[in-house]
Amino acid sequence: MSTITHLFHLTTCLLLLLPTISSAMGADTIRAHCINAFELAFPKQQWTTEHDLRAFVDNVSTDRKADTYFACPLGGGIGSELSNFDKDDLMEWFLTAFNPNVLRYTEIIISEVSVVNNVCSMDKLFFASIGNCHVHAMSRLMIEVDEDGKLVRWFDHFDQDDLNQKMGVCNLQLGVDDEL
């Protein structure tokens, strides 16, 4: 996907998120909610587990189910995006796409967490280990939370082709024929 297409997707996402403004919560509270939502799935200094993912999906907003949207990666095509989902849909997605019982991985926030309205944005690093092979990919993440700190929208923008190439190198080294 071209850089212009990526920028178009990011701009579109930001425009979609702007109408959901909460003047009741301050930026520090929203930032804390976003970091908490992120760290439920990706606790610091440990591999992600199925238990972590279950805690993460339990934090999906039920009050705003019609607004829920999850993209990983944003613009990744069929299977990479969910809308109007509940926690069971999201858990099924994780167990299919990034099953921690099959792939050892975690993610780390590597930038300041910016806040606009109810939306946080940050840079993060995905890190996976397959046998003796290690893969990493940087991405830009935008998270929208509701007034209770529950996840409403998650836009993960990374270069899927780049990650698949890196995973392919590991798979060749290990003699496996799978893609993320």
pLDDT value of position 173: 74
DSSP E strand boundaries for the chain: 69-71, 81-83, 104-109, 114-116, 119-130, 133-145, 151-157
Share of the chain above pLDDT 90, in %: 54
Neighbours of 162 (CB within 10 A): 11
Average pLDDT, the chain: 83
pLDDT tens digits, 67-81: 999 988 777 777 888
In sequence order, the 6+-apart residues with CB closer than 8 A to the CB of 8 are: none
